[in-house]
Amino acid sequence: MDTITLFPNRKGSRMASNKASRTNALLSFSQSQLQPGCVALIGAGPGDAELLTLKALSYLQQADVVLYDYLVSDEIMALIPSETILVCVGKKAGHHSVPQHKTNQLLVDFAQQGYKVARIKGGDPFMFGRGGEELEVLADAGIGFEVIPGITAAAGATAYAGIPLTHRDYAQSAMFITGHLKSEYDHMDWSTLARGHQTLVIYMGLMKSCYIQQQLIEHGRAIDTPVAIIERGTQAQQKVLIGTLSELANLAEDAQSPSLIVIGEVVSLASKLAWFGSQTQQEKSTQSMAI
């Protein structure tokens, strides 16, 4: 049986003094208070720590316990005070994962013992993040909670790759789906998903890229439709692979999780609008040093 007493406090600080002072200055803008015995469900965004909301940062600073996923970047984890109890409950393909029911129980146990609990997830917790499932458990247990939205990968990663989700000349709609598909239980409306002049964004789709490619082509999407795979979007390690729908499965072989698949005419703008990269990071570092 799980017991929360098995999770020790951390020793040592991961934040430099200058980072701490900047953090304190930002926190002065936030007035919200995380209450004992309550859970804050927080979206961490796609990885760039500067995309974290002020309220999310404030609650991470106030929390006694933080339950986090693998998708939360190291830069964001470094903003959490050293005395905070950290519990990794992430799920990762090919690695040992904490079952969802154990994560749910830990949230309940920590809250019932009066801790201020933060549950942080990559992206937005309500966008393929099982946030709703975890809140249902808290609601059933009579535990108070708040939701702090985050920038979802579909918005953040595409913006950093220079790919607008919609554009008057290329896409009048955008659709988000999960790539966790089982062909024998596939109830996707592929005819709708394969429409032209529409942006299709696929979360967690690398392992099913061949099946996705096949279904879209069979249902009418042109084989020369531009596609992009954005790996670790918004982070310093960001990599963008660009090709056509006929090449999707091959492109996926050169990508690693976490990655986002984007399919649609808007991808053709990436070469023109891409702005994030080594030059941008160098300029940002120079500006930080000047400050």
State phi, psi for 258 to the nearest 5 degrees: -85, 130
Q: Under a CB-based contact definition with an 8 Å cutoff, are residues 163 and 228 in contact?
A: yes
Write down the residue that tokens 């937005």 correspond to. 124
Q: Is residue 151 within 8 Å of residue 68, measured between CB atoms?
A: no
3 state SS of 86: strand
Q: Which of 48, 55, 64, 69 is catalytic?
A: 69
| Nearest-angstrom CA–CA distance, 163 and 271 | 9
Catalytic status, residue 69: yes
In sequence order, the 6+-apart residues with CB closer than 8 A to the CB of 68 are 77, 86, 87, 88, 89, 90, 119, 120, 121
Decide: 214 and 240 in contact? Cβ < 8 Å.
Answer: no
User: What is the Cα–Cα distance from 196 to 200, expressed in whole angstroms?
Assistant: 10
- CA 155 to chain centroid, in Å, comes to 10
Q: Is 48 part of the annotated catalytic residue set?
A: no
Catalytic site residues? 69, 91
